[in-house]
């Protein structure tokens, strides 16, 4: 029977693993001393010290066996005041997009990958443990986003739709996001939108996806923040959103200095000819005169050579599953192009 982790120092000392917890606390305390986490000074007059608390966690492997006992000394952050005890907060963790980019490059160049955790990460400690990550899949992004809109007041229709999603996941639990070596390593984006798909707000749903090494590295499916008056306008708004993300991805990949031949400008495919035409020229029309000025940045990015908005047929629009429901055959064709395939279909 597994023993629950202690929630405070007193419980840790009464635990059958008290000696393990003492060793873990000594290790944490030594790490803080070695990294000079604090400096002892007299408490200024009129100020209160911030308390601290021990956090205890039993680390287990995939089979449930105990690997080690971990103790961390943390400040009681809820007693801190912004501007006095701290000025800014941040989380030094990687995004899933950057993780997937690394995985794509590993697959393309046939590199050896070593995944690891960092012991005393905030204290610049030594690398120690192996870590495994589970990420979501692009094939369910649209329906998950759609169901999320009704979390505050769900009905039976939403419950039935959620059960369909669970059944789909059960049938496709062997599916995974894959990457492979290609003749030419290129970052390519696909941008798509429905039109006034939300029956309540009449807002459209944006969807874009970026592929690298034959698999998706970044995608998004979300309701737009404004009501558009035409399909061209809705598609143009997505081009704006996709271009912002695409430039960040390209800069990230370029910063790794492993790609000499990454194509520029960045290609973003769109299946709306009017939106493509509007993105590539300086002319305005009656359809576009109500577009918010911030979205016109797309034109500037095209003219400066940062991106290239190109037309593609609807049948080849890989981002379609991110904006609307599709027939099963078409849906599976698009998700296969995203790199989401069954383990049985992978050729090793």
Domain boundaries, given as residue ranges, for the chain = 9-79, 138-345
Say how many C-beta atoms besides its own lie within 10 A of residue 341's C-beta.
19
Confidence grade of residue 32 (pLDDT, cut at 50, 70, 90): confident
pLDDT tens-digit readout, 146-190: 888 888 888 999 999 999 999 999 999 889 889 988 888 889 999
Q: Is the pLDDT of residue 279 over 80?
A: yes
Region 70-92: mean pLDDT is 63
List phi, psi (to 5°) of 268. Answer: -125, 120
Tell me the C-alpha distance between 225 and 143, whole Å. Answer: 18
The three-point CA angle 153-154-156 to 5° equals 145
The pLDDT value given to residue 221: 92
Lowest mean pLDDT among 64-78, 176-190, 197-211, 329-343: 64-78
CATH top class, domain 138-345: alpha beta
Please list, in sequence order, all residues whose beta carbon lies within 8 angstroms of the beta carbon of residue 225, skipping any fewer than 6 positions away: 203
pLDDT tens-digit readout, 213-228: 999 999 999 998 888 8
Confidence grade of residue 97 (pLDDT, cut at 50, 70, 90): confident
Pick from 51-65, 141-155, 323-337 the range whose average pLDDT is largest: 323-337
SS (H, E, C) the chain: CCCCCCCCHHHHHHCCCHHHHHHHHHHHHHHHHHCCCCCCCCCCCCCCCCCEEEEEEEEECCCCCEEEEEEEEEECHHHCCECCCECCCCCCCCCHHHHHHHHHHHHHHCCCCCCCCECCHHHCCCECCCCCCCCCCHHHHHHHHHHHCCCCCCCHHHHHHHHHHHHHHHHCCCEEECCCCCCCCCCEEEEEECCCCCCCCCCCEEEEEEEECCEEEEEEEEECCCCCCCHHHHHHHHHHHHHHHHHHHHHHHHHCCCCCCCCCCEEEEECCHHHHHHHCCCCCCCCCCCCCHHHHHHHHHHHCCCEEEEECCHHHCCCHHHCCCCCHHHHHHHHHHCCEEEHHHCCC
Contact 273, 194 (CB under 8 A): no
Please list, in sequence order, all residues whose beta carbon lies within 8 angstroms of the beta carbon of residue 44, skipping any fewer than 6 positions away: none
């Amino acid at each position: 029977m597994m023993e629950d982790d202690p929630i405070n120092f007193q419980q840790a000392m009464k635990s059958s693993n008290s000696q393990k917890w003492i060793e873990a606390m000594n290790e944490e305390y030594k790490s803080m001393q070695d990294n000079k986490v604090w400096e002892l000074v007299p408490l200024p007059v009129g100020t209160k010290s911030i308390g601290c608390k021990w956090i205890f966690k039993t680390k287990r492997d995939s089979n449930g066996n105990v690997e080690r006992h971990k103790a961390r000394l943390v400040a009681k952050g809820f007693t801190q005041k912004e501007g006095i005890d701290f000025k800014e907060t941040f989380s030094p963790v990687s995004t899933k997009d950057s993780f997937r980019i690394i995985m794509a490059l590993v697959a393309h160049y046939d590199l050896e990958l070593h995944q690891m955790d960092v012991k005393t990460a905030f204290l610049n400690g030594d690398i120690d443990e192996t870590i495994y990550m589970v990420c979501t899949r692009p094939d369910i992004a649209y329906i998950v986003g759609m169901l999320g809109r009704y979390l505050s007041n769900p009905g039976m229709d939403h419950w039935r739709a959620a059960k369909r999603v669970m059944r789909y996941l059960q049938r496709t639990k062997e599916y995974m996001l894959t990457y492979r070596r290609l003749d030419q390593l290129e970052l390519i984006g696909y941008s798509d939108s429905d039109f006034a798909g939300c029956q309540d707000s009449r807002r459209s749903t944006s969807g874009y996806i970026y592929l690298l090494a034959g698999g998706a590295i970044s995608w998004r499916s979300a309701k737009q923040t404004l009501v558009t008056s035409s399909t061209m306008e809705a598609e143009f708004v997505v081009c704006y959103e996709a271009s912002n993300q695409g430039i960040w991805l390209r800069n990230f990949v370029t910063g790794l200095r492993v790609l000499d031949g990454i194509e520029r400008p960045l290609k973003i495919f769109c299946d709306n000819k009017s939106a493509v035409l509007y993105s590539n020229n300086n002319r305005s029309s009656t359809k576009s005169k109500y577009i918010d000025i911030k979205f016109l940045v797309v034109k500037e990015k095209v003219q400066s050579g940062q991106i290239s908005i190109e037309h593609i047929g609807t049948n080849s629009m890989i981002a379609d599953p991110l904006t609307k429901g599709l027939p099963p055959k078409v849906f599976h064709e698009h998700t296969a192009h995203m790199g989401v395939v069954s383990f049985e279909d992978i050729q090793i």
